[in-house]
Amino acid sequence: MPIHTVGSKTLFAQRIKIGFSGGSQLAASWPRPPAYRYEILDLNSQVGNCIPLADIRMGTLVHDIEYHPGKGAMLARAAGTSAKIIKEPASQCLVRLPSGVEKLIDSRCRATIGIVSNPHHGARKLRKAGQSRWLGRRPIVRGVAMNPVDHPHGGGEGRTKGGRPSVSPWGKPTKAGFRAVVGVGKRRI
C-alpha cells in the first residue's frame, strides 16, 4: 500500500494519495502534527483517524467533515483549518466550523481528527501579478482609468471623475442611502 504526497490546485494543504492492492486509489488531506505533547486516551483519538462523529470526544478538533453520511468530506478542508465538536454526540452532533457557524450534523458522518496541514498558507505573499493570475484572479481596474465607453467615470484629460458621484459601471450609485446618523437632533426638555 504505497503512499505518495500530491498537490492540489484548489486545496492548498498537503494531500496524500493511497494506492490499494486492488488498483483503486484514494486522496486525503494530510493532518498537521500537534505542536504540543498530548496523551492518547484511546486508539480512536489519534491524529489522522477518520471515524464517525459519534465516536469522537467533545472538544476534539476535526477536519474533512462529511455533511451527509457516505457523501465524502465537504467541510473544513482548506489549509490550516479545523472544526471543533461542541456538543456530546447523540443522533446529531453540534460542530463549530472555521467560520464560527455552529451546525448540527448527523453523528453517522465521518471526520478526520486533527488540523489540516499547511497552516501558513494564508500568510504566503504573492511575488508578482502573474502568480495571482495563475490562481484564476483577474485584475481589478479602476473606473477612472477606463475609457468613457467602459465606465461612467472613464475618459477626460488627466485624473477626473467627470463631475458626478461614484457610480457602478452600469450607472447605479455606489454610495446610495443615508450617510448621516438618523434621529440625531436637538433634544426637547
Size of the chain in residues: 189
pTM of the model: 0.58
Which residues are CB-neighbours of 111 under 8 A, at least 6 positions away?
50, 51, 52, 53, 56, 62, 63, 64, 65, 66, 83
Q: How confident is the model at residue 122 (pLDDT cuts 50, 70, 90)?
A: confident
Mean pLDDT over residues 19-41, rounded?
62
Is the separation of the CB atoms in 126 and 132 below 8 Å? yes
Amino acid present at 148: P
Planar angle of CA 8, 14, 15, nearest 5 degrees? 70
Q: Which residue has the higher pLDDT, 179 or 115?
A: 115
Q: What is the pLDDT of residues 42-58, one digit of tens each?
A: 556 778 888 899 888 88
**Domains by residue range for the chain, with CATH:** 31-116 (2.30.30.30)
Q: Spell out where 30-168 has E strands.
A: 31-32, 50-52, 61-63, 65-66, 73-75, 83-85, 92-96, 102-106, 110-113, 115-116
Q: Are 79 and 116 in contact (CB under 8 A)?
A: yes
Which residue, among 114, 76, 109, has the nearest Cα to 92 in the 3D structure?
A: 109
Residue 107 has φ and ψ, to the nearest 5°, of -70, -15
